[in-house]
Copies of this chain bind each other. A is one copy, B any other.
Amino acid sequence: MTTPTVQAPRGPVTRKDVARYAGVSTAVVSYVVNGGPKKVAPATEAKVQDAIRRLGYRPNAAARALKLGSSETIGLVIPDNSNPFFSLLAHAVEDAAAELGYALLLTNSDGNLAKELRNVRNLAARQVDGVILSSVLMEPGLTDLESAEIPVVLLNHSAEAPGFNSVGVDLVAGAKSAVEHLIGHGHTSIALAMGTNTGNYYDGREEGWLQALAAAGLPEGPIVRTAFTREGGYAAGKRLLASASRPTAIFATSDLQAVGILRALHEAGVSVPGDIALASFDGSAEAEYSWPPLTTVKQPAKAMADAAVSALIGAHRGHESEQLIFPAELQIRQSCGCP
């Protein structure tokens, strides 16, 4: 029998078991597990490491969190991770958090204010070290986080939000560039398929569309307001097609809506971009594979996620809150009329 007599410790093995096995104190085990704060003699360290391996010891995160007051976990609240843009964002947030050793508690609010509030509250109760919130509201109610002194950053938030850290995208400039591009193709009647937010605040994309039109001396095209979904876009497309003043181009405020519009257009036998040109916003992967591929304003999801996470983790009490706005870049494909 070469195997040492490891009496299988009943139940999970704790730091105490390791200490006993290695013949040291529990403190020493802590020192080697955490690489500090005290130095340990190489020989002792080896003994401990060996004990850890043999016993299959895994530190208890809950105990650690209790002691340290930090769970090394952050919470993410997004409207819907089935939306390609948000799933991309969520993935990027997870990566950025993991990089720093944080795990991600994901919650969907389904665009529902009550659910958003519930999720935030729940996250606060779970001692997360911070919350990244993509709110349906312009000024989310964050009393729970505030009273728990949990840092927040608003993600995908492009409006003013004094007092909050936020990261968003330049909606106005992004939308403007898309509409200008459509204008460059010779269009003079450009509709807007505007997504409706629960919060119902004024959206920069509408402003950008307006500005581009005005700058070119063009009249306001028709606006149809609809959900930020494929279904919403589909409905918008049909309405636009039926309207007396049928536009020759459409700017949609999300790729998902554009995909819906595309379907409506195809069903009606109108050719894109021949009869009606189309551009949208988000730059999700789906936009690249629609037919025709969508010209879209691409949001730098990865960069935004990184910024949100580091703003959150770096957000030490007393920091000035800052509002980061990233530029969005027009990604030209074929739906606009480019070859």
- Give per-residue flags for A6-40: 1 if the beta carbon is below 8 A from chain B beta carbons, else 0: 00000010000000000000000000000000000
Are B94's CB and A148's CB within 8 A? no
- Is A144 touching B58 in the complex (CB atoms < 8 A)? yes
Given that A63-B66, A289-B230 are known contacts, is A91 also in contact with B108, CB under 8 Å in the complex? yes
Q: Is the CB of A124 within 8 A of B60?
A: no
Q: Are A263 and B289 touching (Cβ within 8 A)? A: yes
Contact B94 A87 (CB under 8 A): no
Contact, CB under 8 Å: A94 / B66: no
Proximity bits, A102-132, B CB within 8 Å = 1, else 0: 0111111000000000000011111100000
Chain B nearest CB: distance from A29 CB in Å?
A: 15
Is A71 in the interface zone, CB < 8 Å from B? yes
**Contact residues, A29-69 vs B (CB, 8 A):** 56, 58-63, 65-66
**Total chain A interface residues with beta-carbon distance under 8 A:** 54
Q: How far is the CA of A106 from the CA of B94 in the complex (A)?
A: 8
Stretch at the interface among A78-86, A180-188, A194-202: A78-86
Task: Say yes or no: A288-B230 contact (C-beta < 8 A), given A60-B66, A91-B81.
Answer: yes
Q: Which residues of B contact A73 (CB under 8 A)?
A: 105, 126
Copies of this chain in the oligomer: 2
Q: How far is the CA of A289 from the CA of B65 in the complex (A)?
A: 46
A266 at interface, CB cutoff 8 A: yes
A191 contacts the other chain (CB 8 A): no
* A60 and B107 form a contact (CB under 8 A): no
A265 nearest CB across to chain B (Å): 9
Distance between A33 CB and nearest chain B CB, rounded to angstroms: 11
Tell whether A88 is near chain B: CB-to-CB under 8 Å. Answer: yes
With A12-B148, A91-B82 known as contacts, the answer to whether A125 contacts B289 (CB < 8 A) is no
Verify B88–A285 contact, CB threshold 8 A: no
Q: Does A208 have its Cβ within 8 Å of any Cβ on chain B?
A: no
Answer whether residue A286 sits at the interface, using C-beta atoms and an 8 A cutoff: yes
| Chain B proximity of A170: nearest CB distance (Å) | 24
Q: Give Cα A175 to B60, complex, Å.
A: 45
Closest CB of chain B to A149's CB: distance in Å?
A: 7
Residues of A participating in the B interface, judged by any CB pair closer than 8 Å: 12, 56, 58-63, 65-66, 71, 73, 80-82, 84, 87-88, 90-91, 94-95, 98, 103-108, 122-127, 144, 147-149, 230, 234, 259-260, 262-263, 266, 285-286, 288-293
Pick 9 A–B contacts, CB within 8 A, sort by A: A58-B144, A58-B148, A62-B65, A62-B66, A81-B90, A81-B91, A103-B105, A104-B106, A259-B289
When A and B form their complex, which 9 residue pairs have the shortest distance between CB atoms, in order from nearest? A62-B65, A106-B106, A87-B87, A62-B66, A61-B126, A56-B147, A259-B289, A230-B289, A266-B291
